[in-house]
Amino acid sequence: MDAFLINGPSIFASADAMSAKEPSIWGLGAYIAFVLVILLVLMSYAKKGLSVRVFKNPVTSLFEQLYLFIENMCVSSIGQHGRKYIPMMMVFWLMIFVGNIVALLFPFAPTADLSFNLGMALIAVCYVQYEGVRANGLLGHLKHFTGPKLSGAMVAISGLIFTIEIISELMKNVSLSLRLYGNIHGGHLAVEAMNQLGNKIYVPLGVLVLLLIKLLTCLVQALIFTMLTCVYLSLVTHHSEDHAEEGHTATAH
């Protein structure tokens, strides 16, 4: 037992072994290209089945269901003007989901690498800022960070709120990428540890027990990344609707 504790599969102690398992940047690029090829093949096959009436191609109807799901998510969390963000959300969902699923069949997944996740989170956050600026204008977008309108000496507090909001905006990046990385990479480590546990009886316990749970994790992580991006978008762009309403009532008067 003691020997097992010292020499056994330790999740943390073998930092070198962990990094040794990760491929180089070219390997990561190859895996990302692989995911993109899978997506392209699937979607071109789905596009073939497009028709005016009923979709007979099963892949097409699968993608239709996915589209409806993403549309429902966008509309319910952003509002009626959330429809124009569907393509971006769809790309995020598909990329993360297929990137996660790849790990169940192949030795590595692009989403188990922090750099890929950080890149994707950067794209998401920058896209949110871009949409915020486009919806409210640069000044309106910056004003959105200062919180409620204060007067007199309370302006200093507005400055404080501004700083905190900017920091939280930067931390969105970290939280998005670290959540995805931690879940996927941690799941891989857990499968490895379970496999080593069953090594003595020649049964890959991790593969048998944990893969189904990992399938659920893949789905939920893709969902959460997309949903959080939707929520950030709704936080940033919901003022435009108020302004539109104000303008409408102003013209009505």
Partner 1 sequence: MGTGLGLGVGIAALGVGIGLGLIGNGALQGMARQPEAIGKLQTAMLIALAFVELVFLLTVFVAPFLIK
Residues that bind partner 1 (CB under 8 A): 5, 10, 12-13, 15, 72-73, 76-77, 175, 178-179, 182-183, 186, 220, 223-224, 227-228, 231
Q: How near is the Cβ of 180 to partner 1 at its closest, in Å?
A: 10
* 142: CB partners within 8 A, 6+ apart: none
Q: How near is the Cβ of 61 to partner 1 at its closest, in Å?
A: 22
Q: At 83, which helix (H) or strand (E)?
A: none
Q: Which is nearer to partner 1, 44 or 168 (CB)?
A: 168
Measured CA distances, 187 to 85, 151, 156, 194 (Å): 30, 51, 46, 11
Q: How near is the Cβ of 252 to partner 1 at its closest, in Å?
A: 31
84: nearest Cα among 139, 137, 135, 140: 135
Q: Which tokens in the block code for residue 189?
A: 């480590």
Q: CA 62, CA 207: separation in Å to the nearest integer?
A: 27
Q: Which is nearer to partner 1, 55 or 69 (CB)?
A: 69
Q: Which is nearer to partner 1, 60 or 183 (CB)?
A: 183
Q: Which is nearer to partner 1, 77 or 195 (CB)?
A: 77
Q: Which is nearer to partner 1, 12 or 26 (CB)?
A: 12
Q: How near is the Cβ of 251 to partner 1 at its closest, in Å?
A: 33
CA torsion 163-168-173-174 (nearest 10°) is: 110
Q: How many CB atoms lie within 10 A of CB 110?
A: 28
Q: Which is nearer to partner 1, 10 or 65 (CB)?
A: 10
Q: How many CB atoms lie within 10 A of CB 120?
A: 22
Report the number of secondary-structure helices (H) and strands (E) in the chain. Answer: 8, 0
Q: How near is the Cβ of 184 to partner 1 at its closest, in Å?
A: 11
Q: How near is the Cβ of 175 to partner 1 at its closest, in Å?
A: 6
